[in-house]
Amino acid sequence: MDGVIAGAALLTATQLVPGVVPFCFAGHRSTEPAARIVLDALGMQPVLDLELRLGEGTGACLSLPVLEASARILGEMATFDAAGVTDKPD
């Protein structure tokens, strides 16, 4: 979700499909005053907060690589045991 228009749509969606918010991500916090209000109402923290003024969707495009990298780290990064590390930090 990115921007005021998409945020308003998500607010509407929460009324139609309760429980939808945990399946959504906020791309960034727009400088539009309504963006902060929408994010607060949804209880969402944005992936990025870069004070963008570039239009709807820009923050979503910028946040996708961060989300993809996070998912890959969680799913693919070896544990110390799996990597055979014997000297583990305290």
* pLDDT reading at 24 higher than 80: yes
In sign, the C-alpha dihedral spanning 48, 53, 55, 61 is: negative
**pLDDT value at residue 84:** 83
In sign, the C-alpha dihedral spanning 29, 33, 38, 39 is: positive
Asked about 56 being catalytic, the answer comes back as: yes
Q: Choose, from 32, 51, 56, 68, the residue flagged as catalytic.
A: 56
In sign, the C-alpha dihedral spanning 49, 52, 56, 61 is: negative
pTM here? 0.75
Question: Which distant-in-sequence residues (6+ apart) come within 8 Å of 41 by Cβ?
Answer: 11
Question: Which distant-in-sequence residues (6+ apart) come within 8 Å of 2 by Cβ?
Answer: 26, 27, 28, 30, 56, 57, 58, 59, 60, 63
How does residue 90 score in pLDDT terms, banded at 50, 70 and 90? low
Mean pLDDT of 60-77: 93
How does residue 18 score in pLDDT terms, banded at 50, 70 and 90? very high
The residues spanned by each domain of the chain are 4-77
